[in-house]
Amino acid sequence: MYKTVADTAKDISMPEEQVLRYIYEGRIKAVYDGKQFLINSTQFTTYYEQLERIKEEIEIWRNTPIPEDPDVKDED
């Protein structure tokens, strides 16, 4: 499914200017139809998968308790 730059920016939570810059840099593939760039939204599948995996890893990290340090003991 092809989307406009504005729709794509909204979907991936990025400013439109940054999406356009990525298109010009070749980081986002797009087709120019004479009036506007159209972006195939399936190219972001990997992006979404990686983003979800990173969110899960951060949540696991936040919920992992800090282990007690064995060297810190009262020696009195």
20 domain residue, yes or no: yes
Q: Tell me the two tokens of residue 74.
A: 């009262």
User: pLDDT per residue over 41-64, tens digit each?
Assistant: 888 888 788 889 999 999 999 999
Predicted local distance difference test score (pLDDT) of residue 69: 73
Predicted local distance difference test score (pLDDT) of residue 6: 95
The structural domain count of the chain equals 1
13 domain residue, yes or no: yes
**Domain range for residue 39?**
2-62
For every residue of 54-72, DSSP letters joined together read HHHHHHHHHHSPPPPPTT-
19 domain residue, yes or no: yes
Q: Name the β-bridge partners of 31.
A: 38
pTM, two decimals, is 0.62
User: pLDDT per residue over 6-44, tens digit each?
Assistant: 999 998 889 999 999 999 999 999 999 999 999 998 888
Measured CA to CA, the distance from residue 48 to residue 42 in angstroms comes to 10
Predicted local distance difference test score (pLDDT) of residue 67: 81
